[in-house]
Structure 1
Amino acid sequence: MNGYLALGIAVISEICGTTMLKMSNGFTVLAPSVAVILGFGIAFYFFSISLRTLPLSLAYAIWSGVGTALTALIGVLVWGDAFSLMTFCGIAFIIGGVVLLNASNQSEKDTAPSI
């Protein structure tokens, strides 16, 4: 399986699990509580699959960064969380950091000597 595909599934599953965490109301509502466990279980499984081909630093930056940014947007759109210039800047910095890590990883691959 492609590492980026597995990572994408991990991100989506983590976002679903986190959203269900909010809906579980402190694990007092059964269906969302079960969905939390499934979502995070699937996320960790596919994240581990992605690590077969992707570097840990890159994969974790994408997983946590994209997951955090999308979860913040879901919080604003679905749960009515506050959205301000600071929120926008925070999300932009997260995405920018992921892009920089990815670019850094690519440049290291391009300049590394072949064995």
Structure 2
Amino acid sequence: MNSILVAYFFLALAIASEVTASAFLQRSEQFTKIVPTIIMVVFYIVSFFCLSQALKVIPLGVAYAIWGGLGIALTALVSVFVFRQALDFAAIIGIALIVAGVIVMNVFSHSARH
């Protein structure tokens, strides 16, 4: 299998695991609930493991920008749809700019080429 595809698969798993861990961080209620806290720790470990695997092929700056940017956007969506937390217009614009930055970096930057 193509190593770049495997790397981006691991990066996608890292992002999904980080977003899941963040949701359980909310559910842990400042680490007062043991089961959500344990689940959170497991998902953060999985996230960093998968990110480390992605870094075998994807440059750190590129991988971290994608991981962080998409993680922010997806975590914001989880906060809206799962936790019923509102985002104002400025927050939506800010998140859109982060996602746009990730897209610009991947489409136009020579740093993102492998």
Please give the TM-score of this superposition, normalised by the length of structure 2.
Answer: 0.89
1:81 to 2:81 alignment: no
Two-structure CA RMSD over aligned residues (Å): 1.8
Residue equivalent to 1:55: 59
- Of 12, 22, 29, which aligns to 2:33? 29
Deviations 1:70-109 (A, max 9, x none): 1011111111222221122011101001011112335774
1:105 to 2:109 alignment: yes
Query: 2:19 is matched by which residue type in structure 1?
Result: I
Of the two, which has the highest radius of gyration?
1
Deviations 1:9-37 (A, max 9, x none): 00000001000000001111111000111
Residue equivalent to 1:6: 10
CA contact (8 A) 2:106 2:112 kept: no
**Any gaps of 5 or more consecutive residues in structure 1?**
111-115
Residue equivalent to 2:99: 95
Taking only the aligned residue pairs, the percentage that are identical comes to 35
Residue equivalent to 1:17: 21
Change (3 A) 1:58 1:31: same
Aligned length: 110
Please give the TM-score of this superposition, normalised by the length of structure 1.
Answer: 0.88
| SS of structure 1 residue aligned to 2:70 | helix
| SS of structure 1 residue aligned to 2:82 | helix
Residue equivalent to 2:42: 38
